[in-house]
A and B are shown apart, each in its own frame.
Chain A
Amino acid sequence: MRLSSRPVLIGLPYLWLLLLFLVPFGIVLKISLSDVAIAIPPYVPVLDPSEGWAGITGFLSQLDFENYVWLTQDDLYWKAYLSSVRIAAISTALTLLVGFPLAYAMARAPEQWRPSLLMLVILPFWTSFLIRVYAWIGILSNEGFLNQALMGIGLIDAPLTILNTNAAVYIGIVYTYLPFMVLPIYATLEKMDGSLLEAAEDLGCTRLQAFWAVTVPLSRPGVIAGCFLVFIPALGEFVIPSLLGGSDTLMIGKVLWEEFFSNRDWPVASAVAIVLLLILVVPIVLFQRNQERSA
């Protein structure tokens, strides 16, 4: 009994991986090797299982790597990947800058407050992500709340142009992904043994020294987890740059959209997606290695 249940238990995660990752990946990979056509669906060849083995070999012989070659011929794609990495990295750093003090304050707050504070961090998820991003248009626009408030208190004379720039994209990403940074950092800080800080102070550290020597290193797993949770989705982000960004905000999510919708070129769009995935695999592997080391 015990012997026979083991393969099932081990097999389940693999089945999960197969269904939710490998199968979709295979479909996208297949389309990325096809050619564009005016048809439904808009690419050839389409696999027709009714033709049997000849159909399959005929299908395979029509696949090629032309679309990947195309990606290397136009600098748009590399610039878009690089620009996405830059925007995601800057946003992640900013989110950390805002999120760490928040998590720290939460972890140091009186114990009876913590559940409420945690609730406040999660609360924005109760409203649709799309509506929250849309609300920023109202806040950041030239006639928006922010500019009106700043002009009202006399800080500026003319409205600041924030909406439709990269700054608005950073604000949008930091705002949206903040909880993903705060929660893992809070989790590590809350678990931290307070007596370690006392020991550091007993040994002559100032509070600031103790913070750098004890709290920061101990919070590292949370910081790394938070950074990955922000960086990975931000890299492929489409909604935030398209709503808040300007037309010169170059991100791979928008390029994908253009390929898919404006060019109706599903094969090239799929190739872009596959390359994006490969780019993401690097940080994910790093993350995995870090997890293993800390475990």
Chain B
Amino acid sequence: MSLKTTTALAATLTVAASLAHAQEVRVYNWSDYIDESLLEKFEQETGLELIYDVFDSNELLETKMLAGSSGYDVVVPTGDFLQRQIAAGAFQPLDKSQLPNIENTWDVINDRTAQYDPGNEYAITYLWGTTGIGVNVGEVTERLGEDAPVDSLALIFDPANMEQLADCGVHFIDAPTELIPAALAYLGEDPTSQDPDVIAKAEDVLMGVRPYVTKFHSSEYINALANGDICVAFGWSGDVLQARDRAAEAENGVEIAYNAPKEGALMWFDMMAIPADAPNPEGALQFINFILDAQNIAAATNYVNFANGNEASKEFVDPEILADPAIYPDEATLENLYVVQPLPPRVQRTVTRMWTKIKSGT
């Protein structure tokens, strides 16, 4: 290599290095969970470079948090996972003086999230939703008739129903902390129970329908539902609704519907928090403040069909979405929703072991 090239290369590297220092914000959020035009808008408004990565399981995020030095400035764990990560010292308290838009937040949601994060010291709700049943209306009606129990956990936990559905495909999210409470709700037990003896009852329900479950996966079902590859998914509200919209856009004749089960549905909150060792906490606060802007978070809600925790945004949310009880539950549905607390380590191990047994049959 000639001296000239070497010098040029060194100069380029120096420039690149200084650019890398020039204010980056690294955000780690759930997959299919934002209107991507917001990312560009953030860069234009703040002049910061945004690096936006995605994940599809809380477990993956938690492992990165507990390993430390994740390099991310903003991460979005779900409430019960957030609580444990706060206990492990993974996050720094939010400097609320840097978050003028925090006044937009919705008290109803803040009150609920305070049980994970007392005083909402460490995190602010990004979006929230329920876990329920997505169906391919045509396929399910063809197999179970017009009065198929699409709004009941019996659809996915009664082997007689699942037997009929197995040939067209059923996906469950790979999230034991959401499936086990659902199985308990189906049995009429307390879905929020942390008693290993009660939790053990879920095993029979899940093992009973296990042979008819095509796959346990937490993100593939969006495409699979939309393409008509599967006819039932037990998954997250907005994801199923995204599948509905994608199918409608593709005009492939697939009609998808979402229902929160009438036996009770899990309500969860995905919370934005700043890791204790975030390289750019100021940039992180700027990002969170940007998301708390009423119009910005409304754009996210309109795009991904999940409700937000931002009262001021309601005037910018599509009236259709605001009126959809699958997204913004009405009073009656709200009463039917439950939240779960993190499990103690020993119970967690029992649950994971049960889950492995359910998934692998061993």
Residue positions of A touching B, CB distance < 8 A = 36, 38-42, 74-76, 79-80, 141-143, 164, 246-250, 254-255, 258, 260-265
The distance from the CB of B31 to the nearest CB of chain A, in whole angstroms, is 15
Offer 30 A-B interface pairs, CB within 8 angstroms, sorted by A. A36-B345, A38-B88, A38-B345, A40-B67, A40-B68, A40-B89, A40-B276, A41-B67, A42-B88, A76-B362, A142-B169, A143-B227, A164-B215, A246-B214, A246-B215, A247-B360, A248-B359, A248-B360, A248-B361, A250-B361, A250-B362, A261-B60, A261-B62, A262-B176, A262-B352, A263-B348, A263-B349, A263-B352, A264-B62, A265-B349
For B168, the closest partner residue in chain A by CB is: A142
Binary contact track B220-257/A, C-beta < 8 Å → 1, others 0: 00000001110000000000000000000000000000
Taking CB atoms, residues of chain B closer than 8 Å to A254 are: 360
Taking CB atoms, residues of chain A closer than 8 Å to B362 are: 75-76, 79-80, 250
Taking CB atoms, residues of chain B closer than 8 Å to A249 are: 360
Main secondary structure on A side of the interface with B = loop
The distance from the CB of A241 to the nearest CB of chain B, in whole angstroms, is 11
Taking CB atoms, residues of chain A closer than 8 Å to B227 are: 143
Which of B67, B84, B229, B359 has a CB less than 8 Å from the CB of A247?
B359
Taking CB atoms, residues of chain B closer than 8 Å to A260 are: 63
The distance from the CB of B226 to the nearest CB of chain A, in whole angstroms, is 12
Answer whether A41 and B66 are a contact pair too, CB < 8 Å, given A36-B345, A262-B352: yes
Which of A40, A143, A250, A258 has a CB less than 8 Å from the CB of B90?
A40
For B214, the closest partner residue in chain A by CB is: A164
**Contact between chains at B228 and A143 (CB < 8 Å):** yes
Taking CB atoms, residues of chain B closer than 8 Å to A38 are: 84, 87-88, 345
Which B35-60 residues sit within 8 Å CB-CB of chain A?
57, 59-60
Which of A41, A141, A247, A261 has a CB less than 8 Å from the CB of B59?
A261
In this assembly, does B213 line the interface, its C-beta being within 8 Å of a C-beta of chain A? yes
The distance from the CB of A246 to the nearest CB of chain B, in whole angstroms, is 7
Taking CB atoms, residues of chain B closer than 8 Å to A255 are: 356
Docked Cα-Cα span, A41 to B68, in Å, equals 7
Residue positions of B touching A, CB distance < 8 A = 57, 59-60, 62-63, 65-68, 84, 87-90, 169, 176, 213-216, 227-229, 276, 345, 348-349, 352-353, 355-357, 359-362
**Contact between chains at A264 and B356 (CB < 8 Å):** no
Docked Cα-Cα span, A143 to B229, in Å, equals 7
**Contact between chains at B355 and A262 (CB < 8 Å):** yes
Which of B66, B176, B352 has a CB less than 8 Å from the CB of A40?
B66
For B359, the closest partner residue in chain A by CB is: A247
**Contact between chains at A76 and B84 (CB < 8 Å):** no
Closest 4 CB pairs of A and B: A261-B59, A247-B359, A42-B66, A250-B360
For A78, the closest partner residue in chain B by CB is: B362
For B59, the closest partner residue in chain A by CB is: A261
Taking CB atoms, residues of chain A closer than 8 Å to B355 are: 258, 262
Taking CB atoms, residues of chain B closer than 8 Å to A141 are: 229
**Contact between chains at A142 and B62 (CB < 8 Å):** no
Answer whether A142 and B229 are a contact pair too, CB < 8 Å, given A80-B362, A246-B215, A250-B362: yes
The distance from the CB of B170 to the nearest CB of chain A, in whole angstroms, is 11
Taking CB atoms, residues of chain A closer than 8 Å to B67 are: 40-41
Docked Cα-Cα span, A142 to B194, in Å, equals 39
Docked Cα-Cα span, A14 to B332, in Å, equals 70
For A242, the closest partner residue in chain B by CB is: B217
Taking CB atoms, residues of chain A closer than 8 Å to B63 are: 260-261, 264
Docked Cα-Cα span, A75 to B360, in Å, equals 13
Which of A42, A76, A164 has a CB less than 8 Å from the CB of B356?
A76
Docked Cα-Cα span, A248 to B361, in Å, equals 6
The distance from the CB of B76 to the nearest CB of chain A, in whole angstroms, is 17
For B88, the closest partner residue in chain A by CB is: A38
For A255, the closest partner residue in chain B by CB is: B356
Docked Cα-Cα span, A38 to B90, in Å, equals 10
Taking CB atoms, residues of chain A closer than 8 Å to B66 are: 39-42, 264
Docked Cα-Cα span, A36 to B352, in Å, equals 15
The distance from the CB of A181 to the nearest CB of chain B, in whole angstroms, is 29
**Contact between chains at A261 and B57 (CB < 8 Å):** yes
Which of A39, A247, A250 has a CB less than 8 Å from the CB of B89?
A39
Taking CB atoms, residues of chain A closer than 8 Å to B276 are: 40
The distance from the CB of B361 to the nearest CB of chain A, in whole angstroms, is 5
Taking CB atoms, residues of chain A closer than 8 Å to B62 are: 261, 264
Docked Cα-Cα span, A74 to B62, in Å, equals 25
For A259, the closest partner residue in chain B by CB is: B352
The distance from the CB of B28 to the nearest CB of chain A, in whole angstroms, is 15
Taking CB atoms, residues of chain B closer than 8 Å to A143 are: 227-229
Taking CB atoms, residues of chain A closer than 8 Å to B228 are: 143
**Contact between chains at B353 and A39 (CB < 8 Å):** no
